[in-house]
């Protein structure tokens, strides 16, 4: 059996696990009770939640435009939105979260060098994590009156590490020792593929340090990131009102933050089952009933996924993305580890239809 087929069989197996977790959660809440709560969900408040999530995407695109313009690349705002949401959609259906790599490939196809496009994707993810950590802090302070569950502390620790480690290393490296080390490793590397990978990493590291050196860009992008996660928290809050679950905005913010960190680790595709279980658990900690909290969690995750897929997947296809080639490249990247660039090459060949 080919490596590509093995990878996709594993992907489908993990997707099945995620769906199984969802079914188990609904079983625990009670199928009849779940249907009863879902049936009384307010359609108008669900529309409000979609508006909040759409606002988050407006802010996310604005932030991406700031990063793109700093490098001197002029890309239309609508084009940036399309390539960005296409990457998010592909993250939901491709193994190993290759959607981020596809986003970098789209940016490169728009005229950026590979290092800058990779640095932008990495910094965007770091800023998202930073916003989520800040979003969860008020809830953590409230929970400190009692015993904070270890899994919440672990999620916040991992989220904080995702922010502090790369930013700290790059900020403290005043003499650019990291780039010099990568250059030395590249000179000693055996094999052309490894040399190319190290050269790409070195370029991305240089571009990332350039982003951090621009204080105005850093402050503006951080402010936008906080507004993005605020809108995502309000999305959950509006869904809670739609379902009739009485919880605070602080609890909704904490639920979004912890659930997002919970699904970040390699688990099921798109975090299916994991996100819903973690979010429901957090809402229960703040006093919500499990059955209602589970409906909120499923609707929250479903709203995000449906929004991203409905916008992003058709956009990816219209931009000329060949999904069969991406699947093949993904399988080769997973099996050989030195051919990740092939995924980017496929994205570079994409063009708007």
Longest CA pairwise span in the chain (Å): 65
Question: How many other CB atoms are found less than 10 A from the CB of residue 233?
Answer: 25
DSSP secondary structure letter of residue 273: T
Integer Cα distance of 243 and 49 in angstroms: 12
* Angle separating helix axes 177-188 and 192-213, nearest 10 degrees: 170
- pLDDT (tens digit per residue) in 46-87: 999 999 999 999 999 999 999 888 767 778 888 889 888 988
Interval 159-171: pLDDT, tens: 778 777 777 777 7
User: How many CA atoms does the CB half-sphere of 255 hold within 13 Å?
Assistant: 33
Mean pLDDT of 238-242: 96
Question: Which ranges in the chain belong to alpha helices (H)?
Answer: 3-29, 31-39, 43-70, 77-93, 99-109, 114-143, 150-172, 177-188, 192-213, 215-243, 249-264, 274-285, 290-318, 323-336, 341-348
Amino acid 310: pLDDT = 92
User: Mean pLDDT, the chain, as a whole number?
Assistant: 80
pLDDT tier, 332 (very low <50, low <70, confident <90, very high otherwise): very low
Rounded Cα distance between 7 and 155, Å, is 27
∠ CA 271-272-275, rounded to 5°: 60
Among 4-13, 160-169, 208-217, name the most confident range.
Answer: 208-217
3-class DSSP state of 98: coil
3-state secondary structure at position 228: helix
Pick left, alpha or beta for residue 337 (phi over 0 → left; psi -120 to 50 → alpha; otherwise beta): left
What confidence tens digit (pLDDT) does each residue in 294-327 have? 999 999 999 999 999 999 888 877 766 555 544 4
Cα dist. 103→25, 65, 271, 325, 348 in Å?
33, 13, 19, 16, 10
pLDDT of 32 above 60: yes
pTM for the complete prediction? 0.82
Evaluate if residue 20 carries a pLDDT over 70: yes
Residue 348 has pLDDT above 60, yes or no: no
Model confidence at 333: pLDDT above 90: no
Please calculate the CA angle 157-228-58 and round it to the nearest 5 degrees.
150
Provide the pLDDT for residue 330: 45
Tell me if 292 sits within 8 A of 242, measured CB to CB: no
């Amino acid at each position: 059996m080919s490596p590509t087929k093995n990878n996709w069989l594993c992907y489908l197996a993990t997707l099945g696990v995620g769906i199984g977790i969802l079914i188990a959660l609904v079983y625990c809440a009670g199928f009849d009770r779940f249907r009863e709560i879902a049936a009384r969900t307010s359609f108008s408040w669900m529309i409000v939640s979609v508006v909040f999530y759409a606002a988050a995407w407006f802010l996310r695109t604005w932030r991406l435009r700031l990063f793109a313009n700093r490098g001197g690349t002029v890309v239309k705002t609508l084009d940036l939105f399309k390539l960005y949401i296409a990457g998010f959609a592909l993250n939901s259906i491709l193994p190993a979260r290759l959607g981020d790599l596809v986003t970098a490939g789209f940016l490169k196809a728009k005229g950026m060098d590979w290092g800058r496009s990779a640095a932008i994707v990495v910094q965007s993810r770091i800023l998202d994590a930073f916003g989520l950590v800040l979003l969860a802090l008020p809830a953590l302070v409230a929970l400190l009156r009692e015993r904070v569950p270890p899994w919440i502390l672990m999620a916040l620790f991992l989220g904080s590490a995702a922010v502090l480690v790369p930013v700290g290393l790059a900020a403290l490296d005043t003499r650019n020792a990291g780039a010099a080390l990568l250059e030395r490793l590249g000179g000693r590397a055996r094999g052309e593929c490894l040399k190319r990978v190290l050269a790409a990493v070195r370029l991305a590291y240089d571009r990332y340090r350039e982003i951090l050196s621009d204080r105005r860009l850093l402050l503006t992008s951080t402010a936008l990131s906080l507004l993005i996660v605020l809108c995502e928290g309000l999305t959950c809050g509006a869904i809670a009102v739609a379902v009739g679950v009485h919880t605070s905005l602080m609890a909704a913010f904490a639920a979004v933050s912890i659930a997002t960190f919970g699904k970040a680790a390699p688990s099921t595709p798109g975090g299916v089952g994991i996100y819903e279980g973690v979010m429901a658990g957090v809402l229960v900690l703040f006093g919500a009933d499990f059955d209602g909290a589970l409906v909120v969690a499923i609707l929250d995750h479903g709203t995000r996924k449906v929004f991203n897929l409905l916008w992003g997947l058709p956009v990816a296809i219209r931009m000329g993305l060949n999904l069969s080639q991406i699947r093949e490249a993904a399988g080769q990247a997973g099996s050989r580890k030195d051919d990740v660039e092939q995924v980017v090459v496929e994205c570079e060949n994409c063009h708007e239809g």
